[in-house]
Amino acid sequence: MNPTLKLTVIVLIALEVSFTQVWTVNVALIVVGLVILLLAHIRLRTLLWLTAVPLFFASALVWSLMLRGNASPHFLIVLFTRMFVYVYLGATFTQTTAPLDLTRSLEQNAKLPSKFAYGFLAAFNLFPKIRAEVATVRAAALMRGQVLHVWSPQLYFKVILTAMTWSEQLADAMTSHGYVEGAPRTYALTIPLRSRDWVYFVGSLALVQVGLCLGLP
Amino acid sequence: MARWHVKDIILVTILAIFMGVIFWVTGPLYTVLGAALAPFGLQPMANDLLLGLWCMAGPLAGFVIRIPGAATLGELLGSVVEMFLGGMWGAATLISGIVQGVGSELGFVLTGYKRYNWLTLVLSALTTTLVTFGWDFFRSGYNKYQFGFMMVLLITRFISVFVFGGVLTKLITNLLSRAHVLSPRANA
């Protein structure tokens, strides 16, 4: 499915189940999510992780509401299953879509300005360097006997300075490679937006609406 | 009004990733805190206690970049990064990202993107708290809590957002303006 449409449908469904209270639809969505994940050959370890963590959070939330709230059992079931809907549906996107495909699709299909698409990609690919930089800043401070915590302004100050330098250098590098903001571009690789994608998109949204309106528990 | 250039877009993304990496460290903290509080039915408290940390990218980006939309974009991109780096909420993270981003953006909107001082940060902390709490009110069933406990959660959340998004952000931007790296409009 087209990445932009896939992302949109998942976010819309997640938004919708946040405001509705039909646990049967939640369970149906969980099953669909699981099937998609299995078809995508998700690794068993990832799947276990995706099950164990929401299990903890959902149980803790339900337990907390039982102790300190006045929610009905029906609502608690809705809340419990809702957490799993988020995680499984969310994973169907991340497990089947590469960041590069999403940015390309957003640029070509959703008409996102190219400066956002390429700006984001440029920074995203710096990730390993960014992680190393945080470690370096901390190590450098340690050598002077300073421990930098999550709440130390110095830590953020230093990484912001680095971010400023890097972003200027990257932007200059892009310009020197011929990148012009807002100039018309051709695509080396086009992301198709087929009518099939629209059918899936409208179809799955319609199915969820039907499920929500049927009066299921 | 200032416009987005590719340099700013890269800057806000790098900032978001930096924040993401730093908060990676708090992942275990959240789980440990959550697990410790869970038996007493206080697990959501862990969420509210640490929320300020996760929402810091917004005010910080808004303060450093000073273009309308910077706070929203900072939070949103932070959640995109988290989504792709294996955050377990996957695409659902984006919704929280937008909610938190809009929350902190509102603080800057209220001052018309003209003032960058204490007032802005306090307003931003206030709007972040209200918007994200409103979201949890429905999503996490906060509306079903007893009123007293709900207020405790709300106040905890505000303190957390105020300490990290307000006080800590102010301390950071103080360092930045002493180093003369903030935009000149900063001191106007």
Indicate whether A58 belongs to any domain: yes
Compute the CA torsion angle B96, B99, B101, B105 (nearest 10 deg). Answer: -170
Q: Is residue A85 domain-shared with residue A25, that is, in the same domain?
A: yes
Distance of CA A200 to the CA centre of its chain: 20
Greater confidence (B184 vs A125) lies with A125
CA distance B91 to B93: 5
Enter the ipTM: 0.86
The predicted structure's pLDDT at residue B188: 35
Domain boundaries, position A79: 3-98+192-213
Domain boundaries, position B121: 6-187
Q: Is residue A154 domain-shared with residue A51, that is, in the same domain?
A: no
CA distance B172 to A157: 6
Closest approach of A131 to chain B, Cα-based (Å): 6
Indicate whether A183 belongs to any domain: no
At A159, which helix (H) or strand (E)? helix A153-176
CA distance A85 to B21: 26
CB atoms closer than 10 angstroms to residue B167: 17
Q: Is residue A84 domain-shared with residue A126, that is, in the same domain?
A: no
Q: Is residue A7 domain-shared with residue A81, that is, in the same domain?
A: yes
Cβ <8 Å between A123 and B17: yes
Indicate whether B107 belongs to any domain: yes
Give B-chain residues touching A92 at CB under 8 angstroms.
90
Indicate whether B1 belongs to any domain: no
Q: How many residues does chain B have?
A: 188
Q: Quick check: A156 and B60 in contact, CB under 8 A? A: yes
In this prediction, residue B187 has a pLDDT band, given cuts at 50, 70 and 90, of: very low
The predicted structure's pLDDT at residue A28: 94
Query: Quick check: B167 contacting A, CB < 8 Å?
Result: no
Closest approach of A195 to chain B, Cα-based (Å): 23
Give A-chain residues touching B156 at CB under 8 angstroms.
none
Q: Which of residues 140-179 of A touch B (CB under 8 A)?
A: 150-151, 153-157, 159-164, 166-168, 170-171, 174, 179
Q: Is residue A74 domain-shared with residue A120, that is, in the same domain?
A: no
The predicted structure's pLDDT at residue B181: 84
Q: Which of A53, A63, A153 sits opposite B172 (nearest CB)?
A: A153
Query: Quick check: A109 contacting B, CB < 8 Å?
Result: no
**pLDDT-wise least confident of A106-115, A117-126, B83-92, B102-111:** B83-92
Cβ <8 Å between B141 and A79: yes
Burial of A24 (C-beta count, 10 Å sphere; 0-12/13-18/19+): middle
Q: Is residue A86 domain-shared with residue A12, that is, in the same domain?
A: yes
- Number of helices and strands (H, E) in chain A? 9, 0
Give B-chain residues touching A116 at CB under 8 angstroms.
4, 9
Q: Quick check: A10 and A90 in contact, CB under 8 A? A: yes
What token pair was written down for B56?
């810091």
- Share of residues in chain A with pLDDT > 70 (%): 100
Indicate whether A103 belongs to any domain: no
In this prediction, residue B133 has a pLDDT band, given cuts at 50, 70 and 90, of: very high
Residue type, A48: L
Sign of the CA dihedral with B37 first, then B42, B43, and B49 last: negative
The 3-state DSSP class for residue B111 equals: coil
Per-residue pLDDT, averaged over B34-61, amounts to: 85
Per-residue pLDDT, averaged over B3-26, amounts to: 86
Q: Is residue A149 domain-shared with residue A79, that is, in the same domain?
A: no
Residue type, A21: Q
CA distance B176 to A158: 9
Indicate whether A162 belongs to any domain: yes
CB atoms closer than 10 angstroms to residue A59: 14
Q: Is residue A9 domain-shared with residue A90, that is, in the same domain?
A: yes
Q: How many domains does chain A have?
A: 2
Q: How many domains does chain B have?
A: 1
Q: Is residue A146 domain-shared with residue A74, that is, in the same domain?
A: no
Q: Give the CA count within 13 Å in the CB-facing half-sphere of B11.
A: 23
What backbone torsions phi and psi does residue B11 show, to the nearest 5 degrees?
-60, -45
Indicate whether B135 belongs to any domain: yes
In DSSP terms, which residues pair with B145 in a beta bridge?
A69
What backbone torsions phi and psi does residue B145 show, to the nearest 5 degrees?
-80, 155
Q: Is residue A64 domain-shared with residue A34, that is, in the same domain?
A: yes
Per-residue pLDDT, averaged over B114-121, amounts to: 87
The predicted structure's pLDDT at residue B90: 73
The predicted structure's pLDDT at residue B50: 84
Cβ <8 Å between B146 and A70: yes
Residue type, B160: S
Q: Is residue A94 domain-shared with residue A120, that is, in the same domain?
A: no
Average pLDDT of chain A to the nearest whole number: 91
Per-residue pLDDT, averaged over B3-18, amounts to: 91
Indicate whether B142 belongs to any domain: yes
Q: Is residue A94 domain-shared with residue A16, that is, in the same domain?
A: yes
